[in-house]
Amino acid sequence: MPNNNKELILSAPLSGPVLTLANVPDAVFASGAMGDGIAIDPLNDTLYAPCDGEVIHVARTGHAVTLRADNGAELLLHLGLDTVELQGDGFSILVKEGARVSNGQALLRYDLDKVAQRCKSLVSLLIITNGEHFQARPITLKGVKVGEPLLHIVSKTPNETRDDELDIGIEVSGQIRIAHRGGLHARPAALVRQTAQGFKSRSQLHFGGRSASCDSVMGMMGLAINEQAEVHVSCRGSDAEAALRALLTTLSTALAEETHAQAPQAKTPDRTAEDGVLHGVCTAPGLVSGPLVRLDGIQLPEDAGGHDVEEQRQRLRHALAHVSRDIQQTLENAKARRHVDEQAIFSAHLALLEDPVLLDAAELAIDQGHAAPHAWSQSIDRQCQVLRQLGNALLAERANDLHDLRQRVLRVLLGEAWKFDVPAGAIVATRELTPSELLQLSAQGVSGVCMAEGGATSHVAILARGKGLPCLVALGETLLAQAPGQSVVLDADGGRLELTPSAERLVQVQQIHSQRAALRAQQQTLAHTPARTVDGIEIEVAANVASSVEAGEAFANGADGIGLLRTEFLFVDRHTAPDEEEQRHAYQAVLDAMGDRPVIIRTIDVGGDKQLDYLPLPAEANPVLGLRGIRLAQARPELLDQQLRALLQTRPLRRCRILLPMITEVSEWLHIRQRLDALAAELGLDERPQLGVMIEVPAAALLAEQLAEHADFLSIGTNDLSQYTLAMDRDHAGLAARVDALHPALLRLIAQTCVGAAKHGRWVGVCGALASDPLATPVLIGLGVRELSVSPPQVGEIKDRVRRLDAAQCRRISTDLLNLASAAAVRQACHQHWPLG
- Provide the annotated active-site residues: 459, 767
Question: For the chain, give me the number of helices (H) and strands (E)?
Answer: 28, 34
281 binds ligand PEP (CB under 6 A): no
Using alpha carbons, list the distances in angstroms from residue 179 to 249, 258, 365: 10, 10, 37
- Within 550-609, the residues that bind ligand PEP by CB under 6 A are 564, 566, 605
Size of the site for Mg ion (CB under 5 A): 3
How far, in Å, CA of 720 to CA of 723, rounded?
5
**Binding partner selected for residue 269 from Mg ion, ligand PEP, none, CB under the kind-specific 5 to 8 Å limit:** none
Determine contact, residues 428/450, Cβ cutoff 8 Å: yes
| Region binding Mg ion by CB under 5 A among candidate stretches 9-17, 114-122, 715-723, 794-802 | 715-723
| Neighbouring residues of 798: CB distance < 8 A, sequence distance ≥ 6 | 531, 541, 771, 772, 774, 777, 788, 790
Specify the stretch interacting with ligand PEP by CB under 6 A; choose among 91-99, 200-208, 717-725, 776-784. Answer: 717-725
Instruction: Provide, rounded to whole angstroms, the least separation between the CB of residue 418 and ligand PEP.
Output: 45
The stretch near ligand PEP (CB under 6 A) out of 460-468, 713-721, 809-817, 820-828 is 713-721
Smallest distance from ligand PEP to CB 750, Å: 12
- Indicate which of ligand PEP, Mg ion, none lies near residue 215 (CB less than 5 to 8 Å, by partner kind): none
Q: At residue 816, what are phi and psi to the nearest 5 degrees?
A: -70, -35
Q: Which is nearer to ligand PEP, 428 or 600 (CB)?
A: 600
Smallest separation, CB 113 to ligand PEP (Å): 21
692 binds Mg ion (CB under 5 A): no
Q: Please state, in angstroms and rounded to a whole number, the distance separating the CA atoms of residues 758 and 764.
A: 9
DSSP assigned state of 470? -
CB of 716 to ligand PEP, least distance (A): 7
Q: What is the nearest approach in angstroms of ligand PEP to the Cβ of residue 566?
A: 5
Q: What string marks each residue from 720 to 759 as x (binds Mg ion by CB under 5 A) or -?
A: x---------------------------------------
Q: Which is nearer to ligand PEP, 406 or 628 (CB)?
A: 628
- Class of residue 515 by CB neighbours under 10 A (exposed 0-12, middle 13-18, buried 19+): exposed
Cis peptide before 652 (omega within 30 of 0): yes
Residue placing its CB nearer to ligand PEP in the complex, 523 or 725 = 725
Chosen residue from 131, 188, 454, 717 binding ligand PEP by CB under 6 A: 717
Site for ligand PEP in 751-770 (CB under 6 A): 767-768
Nearest distance in Å: CB 816, ligand PEP? 25
User: Hey, how many other C-beta atoms are within 10 angstroms of the C-beta on 161?
Assistant: 10
350, 324 Cβ separation under 8 angstroms: yes
C-alpha distances out from residue 478 to 40, 280, 319, 774, Å: 51, 11, 35, 39
* Largest CA-CA distance found in the chain, in angstroms, rounded: 94
* Residue 696 makes contact with ligand PEP by CB under 6 A: yes
Residue 693 host element (H or E): strand 690-695
- What binding mask, one character per residue, do residues 718-747 give for ligand PEP by CB under 6 A, x or -? xxx---------------------------
The region of 210-218, 521-529, 694-702, 750-758 touching Mg ion under the rule CB under 5 A is 694-702
Helix axis angle, 372-388 to 356-367, nearest 10°: 130
**Residue 474 interacting partner from ligand PEP, Mg ion, none (CB closer than 5 to 8 Å by kind):** none
The smaller minimum CB distance to Mg ion, of residues 460 and 769, is found at: 769
Please identify, using beta-carbon distances, which residue of 767 and 802 lies nearer to ligand PEP: 767
For residue 675, give the nearest of 656, 688, 693, 662 by alpha carbon. Answer: 688
- The DSSP 8-state label assigned to residue 686 in this structure reads -
Member of 45, 342, 432, 696 binding Mg ion (CB under 5 A): 696
Q: Half-sphere exposure of 37 toward its Cβ, with a 13 Å CA cutoff?
A: 30
Q: Name the phi and psi angles at 76, rounded to 5.
A: -90, 125
Of 395 and 572, the one with the shorter C-beta distance to ligand PEP is 572
Stretch that binds ligand PEP, among 95-103, 422-430, 545-553, 714-722 (CB under 6 A): 714-722
**Distance between CA 267 and CA 473 in Å, rounded?**
10
Judged by the rule CB under 5 A, the positions of this chain that interact with Mg ion are 696, 717, 720
Judged by the rule CB under 6 A, the positions of this chain that interact with ligand PEP are 564, 566, 605, 696, 717-720, 767-768
